[in-house]
Structure 1
């Protein structure tokens, strides 16, 4: 039975199942038949469901016993996780993480140990395999698959139906069978217009940026690339 304070501070449908170890903030809407179980930390003002599953054991061939480990699923604030989506418990790293202001559309599979940073959009029926990192402002278009250990850079986009086997650079567009191009839409949307030439040189020619704001973005991307060793488009 959920704490009365949690019930009063959130809108939780009576058909939702919330596990004993789940910690919930306030202002959340949890819609019918959603299941949140295991060690899950949920922030404030999220909309989840219906028929969403969060915190289920990882789908991993080395972890088939369906036991819950000590690692956590951490979900921040102001996220939308639409119907029939799944967010799995981690099994290799400390957390599965969805930060803030993320929009996860219908039927998305967020596997174990995935990290989705702020302001990302993951569209319908896309699959993020284990240990994938989706960095700030990235957009995964409809029905994409992102392979294990891949990092999708900040403010980039992966095209509809793409099978993404490598890393995708920040500010780039990955469309299978075409040269990598610049995600002009994100430059406009997120306020990077004054850095357009610098971004173009980085995406198209591999020239490292000189301004701090863009260098910091590239350095964060490079950290994850170095950690997991995947090649980059």
Structure 2
């Protein structure tokens, strides 16, 4: 299906759109950017403007085609498919890597994804969430209204961050973090149960999720349902000095 782009929207040179996307009024998308299929991008969204760095150039990308030189044009933005990007969301281009948003995410009004952020699939970023640069938000994470992430923070898969929280350190997989500064208060049992885990399995994983013990042996991880096994293994194998 063809894209539906409002006549007041600005699509800059170097922007690649897939199919069946909706782009609302007064939205500005600046290249280099690549956007997948079936995204709903609301009014007054900005995607691909320069990262907030005093020393970097700020070209008028909506007027001039990018030269393809990352030192001058930035590393751009890549967005997957089937996302809902609500009004006033902003996504900055990368400075040393591509700012990347996965698929099936819901980005609520006024949320901000800063330069060089990596965001996985199926995330929920609530209204007025602000991320610093270089953050990594894993699949299925849920950031509550008004949460603030310090630059280079990592939020694990399936983790929940409470509204108004200030996150200054890593939030582990399938944990719940709240407060200022944010602290882990428990395990996201609801999120795990929705992924098909029973109480016994959640209890067995509990010490690992809380960072107290290694992953249980005996093949438990391989028996996890769906893509959860792959996600847990990827989180366990991640480089601890990611940034």
TM-score (norm 2): 0.84
Structure 2 equivalent of residue 188 of structure 1: 193
Q: Please name the residue that 2:149 is paired with.
A: 146
Give me the whole-angstrom Cα distance separating, in 1, the residues matched to 2:203 and 2:130: 33
1:66 to 50, 58, 83: 58
Task: Confirm whether residue 220 of structure 1 aligns to residue 225 of structure 2.
Answer: no
CA distance in 2 between partners of 1:75 and 1:40 (Å): 8
Kept in 1, the 8 Å contact 2:171–2:184? The answer is no
Equivalent residue number for residue 66 of structure 2 = none
Partner Cα distance (2:54, 2:189) in 1: 40
2:104 is matched with 101
Q: Summarize the Cα distance change of 1:147–1:158 in structure 2 as closer, same or farther, 3 Å threshold.
A: same
Q: Which structure 1 residue ranges, 5 or more long, are not aligned? A: 1-7, 229-233
d(CA) in 1 for partners of 2:239, 2:110: 27
Pick one of 129, 132, 140 that aligns with 1:129. 132
Q: Report SS of the residue matched to 1:225.
A: coil
State the match for 1:198 in structure 2.
Answer: 204
CA deviation profile, 1:151-191 (whole Å, cap 9, x unmatched): 00000101110000000000100012765301112112222
Residue aligned with 2:210, SS: helix
Give yes or no for contact 1:32–1:51 (8 Å, CA) kept in 2: yes
1:26-59 CA-partner distances (Å, limit 9, x unpaired):
0000011100012000100000011000000001
Alpha-carbon distance, 1:119 to partner:
0.5
2:123 matched residue in structure 1: 120
Q: Deviation at 1:216? A: 4.7
Are positions 1:77 and 2:81 aligned together? Answer: yes
**Deviation, structure 1 residue 217:** 3.4
Root mean square deviation, CA, Å: 1.9
Residue of structure 1 equivalent to 2:8: 15
Q: Give, in whole Å, the separation in 2 of the partners of 1:18 and 1:108.
A: 21
2: CA distance, partners of 1:224 / 1:171: 18
Aligned residue pairs total 219
The whole-number CA distance in structure 2 between the counterparts of 1:61 and 1:70 is 14
Q: CA deviation at 1:198?
A: 2.7
1:129-166 deviation digits (Å, cap 9, x = unpaired): 10000001000000000111110000010111000000
CA contact (8 A) 1:151 1:225 kept: no
**Of 38, 46, 49, which aligns to 1:45?**
38
- CA offset at residue 220 of structure 1? 3.0
Structure-2 separation of matches of 1:134 and 1:179? 16
Could you tell me how far apart the structure 1 residues matched to 2:111 and 2:100 are? 15
Distance change in 2, residues 1:215/1:62 (3 Å): farther
Give the Cα–Cα distance (whole angstroms) in 2 for the partners of residues 224 and 26 of structure 1: 35
